[in-house]
Structure 1
Amino acid sequence: MPFPRASQALSRFTVLDLTRIRSGPTAVRQFADWGANVIKIDALSDDAGSEQPGGPRQGSDFQNLHRNKRAMTLNLKDPRGLAVFKRLVAKADVVVENFRPDVKARLGIDYESLKAINPGIVYGSISGFGQDGPYHKRPGFDQIAQGMGGLMSITGAPGEGPMRVGIPVADLTAGLFCALGVLTALLERDVSGQGQWVQTSLLQAQIFMLDFQAARWLMEQDVPKQAGNNHPTSIPTGVFKTSDGYINIATTGGKIWERCAQAIGAPELITHPDYATGPARSKNRDALNTAISACTEKRSTEEWVNDLNAAGVPCGPIYSVDQMFADAQVKHLGLAQDVPNDQNRKITLVAQPFTLSRTPSQMAARPPEVGEQTEELLAEFGFGAEEIAELRRGKVV
């Protein structure tokens, strides 16, 4: 029975997945979810199925990262295993890895080595700090990148010290940027016929994600500071207490601020000299926030969400994760999707955040067990039954 594809959008591409932990699997997930023939290559070891960095194989984290793939085992440290891998590369389109920069050269699977076999190969690499430079041999971890990339210095309440954000944002964005880079290289290959090496790192991704906060320094030499729940430039924007919880309110520009003041029943704030202009509201933001909270505390979050949105004021509740998935719009968008499987397990995972009208993505296959499709995949790449059996006997696969 043919392996079910998640989409037809990228079905013409074969991707060899050498990635581990999070950033690399995040990159490859984009290809798997859009229908590429993704082959996850697991290390051949006695404990390959035990708990590993990134959590157990049937845990929620691993399952969310590795759906819609097939898997095989391969011992890349054995010359015979390296020879097998090179035969796969000869017919593949993409290789993605997130080893430390020196590891792939030592194994003989670096870009130059694989380019000699297949000049059209697109090779995606994610590292902690880059493939060269003074820090290139350092191991990369998300929180280290958050700190060195400036994010922790602008996250959290003023005076409370640096704070990491609640998701591994450097890992995730490095993976997404790697996928974008690989797709860009594949588009260019349609013109040139040549592959190329796509490189990104956790540090690069994190700095890019600073966006306007980084530009404030580069253009104006303004060092951004922690602002807690307050927006650094659009004021008032932040978290306000209600009678039964909290609400986010966001105002940008004088017109929305005026609508906000009217909607909360405090029109006198519009002409108050401390709040009448953008610079005045910025200077007196704490007092203004206190005045707004005195109004919002009188009614429930649901009431304010309804009334402020009706008045054209951007706002929204602050959900826990369970409340978020119960929201009517989230349900409508289909962001939680069940995965078909033959193990009588309930697997519900986070769906892709964008849609295509003709070639949609779906949860087509559960994440594979260790080396689950080894024989099937080798046969597809031209290995005969006796050849596969010999590789098994030699503990190469």
Structure 2
Amino acid sequence: MKTPELFADIRPYQDNEVAEVLTRLVEDPELLEAIARFRFPYFSQYMAPILHGLIGWRLKKKVANIQTIHDLQLQVAGYMQHMVNTTTDGFSVSGLDDLAQDQTYLFVGNHRDIAMDPGFINLALHQAGRETLRIAIGDNLIKKTYVTDLMRLNKSFIVKRSAKGVRELMQAMNTLSAYIHYSLFEEKHSIWIAQREGRAKDGVDITDPAIIKMFFMHEKRRKDEGALNFTQTIKKLKIVPVSIAYEYDPCALLKARELSTQDYAKAEFEDMQSIALGITGYKGRVHVHFSQPLTTTDYQDAEQVARAIDQAILQGYQLFPSHYLAYADLGEDLQGLESIFAQITEAQKARFAEHKAQIPEAYLSPWLAMYANPVRRATQIS
């Protein structure tokens, strides 16, 4: 079954579109310039035509054998594994074995990194021999045509957050809800979406109930006898809360600076800088946990579902020494945590001190808080 035209401007690209999109990309001057500035920041100022020609030639060679989305994702998996090997001290996964391989799920995750959160989740699925998922991405991140093309080639679909006016916004949300249902139940493709708009820069993972209400919109608008109520819809969606934890966040300083600055205004391409830093920066250990689907409780409203997701994400969140050391630095009560602190090695303490020393005094408090807050919340429910 072909994707309805209703979703044509938000859905991921399909296999029959790959060749055309790749041809467009390898000749896109903005993409060639972006790569030149990233790889050769000094020479790109003086040798742009030569560099663009060489980069374009190299890209054509790399994509020559890519005919399908699967072909592309196999290359992405190789880059992801290289990223794990060079920027982390290990990547671990838990809970995935408890999810049926023949089911599609709506994965709702905490959000710490623009590209790496769904990237690591997809890597976990790929390493387990499972189908990768489709990724919800806000249109605020894709202001360049080549970025849109790259994202949609990698199974991303567009969330129109920039819609103007109530009517346009409601139409965009209705279309998004319909697409999520179509992907899950017609095309049998699982989906990942963040638990709220924007990253949790302060380390506090809270689900926005508006996201849950959006999930229900498609069924709510149906007028036929087969339409499901809210409780039935939530069970049918098989929502799986997903927790991702980074021992060190490559964008922590940028987040702390934003939290410390009144009336902070993002630079034009600041999100792209965060994406690049999130990919290339040091992360320490990274852990992804898949919770059980929310299918055994009769949820009555969006707030109840949101709180259940919050609880599952918090319980599945892997706390690292960096979190506990930040918690201690803020003068929090360590009663009951003595055994945990006894296991933190001198090398881990030294590494934390090195990261902390790089943070300007003006940004230190929010920097510590973003690591400490998961411990604070965990101790509140223990």
Q: Structures share a fold, TM > 0.5?
A: no
Which structure: larger Rg? 1
TM-score normalised by structure 2 residue count: 0.31
